[in-house]
Amino acid sequence: MKKRLIILIIILLIISILLITYFNIQNAKTNIKQENNEQINIESSDNMKIYLKVNDNVLPVTLVNNSATDDLIKKLLKNDITIEMKEYGNFEKVGSIGFFLPTEDEYITTTAGDLILYQGDQLTIHYASNSWNYTRLGKIDNVTSEELRYILGIGDVQITLSINKN
């Protein structure tokens, strides 16, 4: 009788261990799926639009896919980002974003509408061409140099980056 009871207890322990292991594996699979879904949402930032608001103008920006834009999107999901921008070199507006993004600098020549990260914490909006080591963030859709100069105006300007159009 004692022997049967010991065998029954051992069988129950084995079943308990198997059930605990099974539920831990299922829980781990759920966590991995959630992490993968989050990653998919971030990875789908390639060709994602954000919006640049200047005065009464809302300009769509198509982002490139890099670590800087991934981090920028994460920030924008929490809050819009408002930047005070200054005229620089008669080819761009530049302003501090107030935090650092990862850089993937490469020597590029900008064109009108390029949204550029400079030194990890400066955003530049180019309305004319310039060549330098930059991290490209994206490009304002369907805007000419003249239109962009007019929208940005002369001197300092405040812009807001947003995930939402309004």
Based on the fold, state whether residues 61 and 83 are members of the same structural domain.
yes
* CATH assignment of the domain containing 119: 2.40.100.20
Based on the fold, state whether residues 74 and 143 are members of the same structural domain.
yes
Dihedral angle sign, alpha carbons of residues 77, 83, 88, 92: positive
Q: Are residues 105 and 26 in the same domain?
A: no
Q: What is the pLDDT confidence band of residue 37, given thresholds at 50, 70 and 90?
A: very low
pTM for this prediction? 0.71
The answer to whether residues 56 and 37 belong to one domain is no
Asked whether residue 16 falls in the same domain as residue 59, the answer is no
Q: Which residue has the higher pLDDT, 28 or 88?
A: 88
List C-alpha distances in Å: 99 to 71, 79, 122. 11, 13, 9
Query: 77 and 125 share a domain?
Result: yes
Pair (26, 107) in one structural domain: no
Does residue 23 sit in the same domain as residue 89?
A: no
- Checking if the pLDDT of 118 tops 60, the result is yes
Do 34 and 96 belong together in one domain? no
Residue 83 in contact with residue 159, Cβ under 8 Å?
yes
pLDDT tens digits, one per residue of 5-21: 788 888 888 887 877 87
pLDDT tens by residue, 71-107: 999 999 999 999 999 999 989 999 999 999 999 999 9
Number of domains in the chain: 2
Reading the block at residue 82, the tokens are 């408002």
Q: Which domain holds residue 35?
A: 1-43
- Average pLDDT of the chain is 87
Better pLDDT: 38 or 30: 30
Q: Are residues 39 and 54 in the same domain?
A: no
Instruction: Check if the beta carbon of residue 62 is closer than 8 Å to that of residue 52.
Output: no
109 and 68 belong to one structural domain: yes
Retrieve residue 52's tokens: 């640049």
Same domain, 74 and 1: no
